[in-house]
Homo-oligomer: A and B are copies of this chain.
Amino acid sequence: MRFGRIATPEGMTFCVIEGDGEQAIAKAINGHPFADPEYTGKEYPLSDVKLLAPMLPSKIVAIGRNYADHVAEVFKKSAESLPPTLFLKPPTAVVGPGAAIKIPEFATKVEFEGELALVIGRPCKNVKADDWRSVVRGYTIINDVSSRDLQFADGQWARAKGIDTFAPLGPWIETDLDAIDVTNLPIKAHLTHDGVTETKQDSNSNQMIMNLGEIIEFITASMTLLPGDIICTGSPAGTAPMSPGDYIEIEIPGIGRLGNPVEAA
């Protein structure tokens, strides 16, 4: 089932999205997408409403350096010498599908990072790796936008990855965990620059160093996770700079496509 969040003439609401392409329908629900949906009866063609980020998380916990080829391209080192690490992105960085990524003047090398994201479904702490599915409500996509200049200048990544609009999220939450083989999931990023689209990232979740169970166990050994919290599972290689006028689309088959234009702030 696909849960989304939409702006309609009557206000913002969570919804269930059925159908694809021009036939897609958003069926409004009461409350939050953490339980079986209770439909309000209101339905909209998806093309008539604005799709928002599917969740406003209380926190975004991210695993960095979780793909060896990305460690090599960004840090010029082996994954053995630089193992996965944990960082946070602020909730204020979240924007939805189609919203502009806005690059401030002082960020001079801003790159996309297409990633599989997990949406937490219940409060949890000290989750064992084998039990990770019991705390995950569904999958979505995040673009972990990163300003490489600030990332290396600051040492800490919070600013480089925490600028407003640097966490495009969506397009929705796919809750059918059985329908998607997360151990073998293509992850792609298509960058359109000067009217030409190139596929820059073309990898697979089978390249992850820590798998989803290990990630959830690692994080929850330290931090309580709350419903709606977002876990970013790391970016594969192929990240590249973006500039105002570009359009970046992250694609994960079975989940969807998350596209955002790039503008100057």
Interfacial residues, chain A to chain B (CB-CB below 8 A): 58-59, 61, 64, 82, 85-93, 104, 106, 125, 154-159, 162-164, 221-226
Contact = CB atoms under 8 A, between A and B. Distances in A.
11 contacts: A58-B92, A61-B90, A61-B158, A85-B156, A86-B154, A87-B158, A104-B222, A106-B221, A125-B164, A162-B222, A162-B223
Contacts of A158: 61, 86-88, 158
Contact of A223 (B59, B82, B87, B93): B93
Contacts of A90: 59, 61, 88, 223
Given A85-B155, A106-B221, 12 more contacts: A59-B92, A61-B90, A85-B154, A86-B154, A88-B90, A88-B158, A92-B224, A92-B226, A104-B221, A159-B222, A163-B222, A163-B223
Nearest to A150: B222
Nearest to A92: B224
Contacts of A125: 164
Nearest to A224: B92
Contacts of A159: 85-86, 222-223
Most buried by B among A104, A155, A222: A222
A59 B89 CA distance: 10
Most buried by B among A90, A125, A225: A90
A223 B223 CA distance: 23
**Closest CB pairs A-B (n = 4):** A88-B88, A163-B222, A87-B156, A86-B159
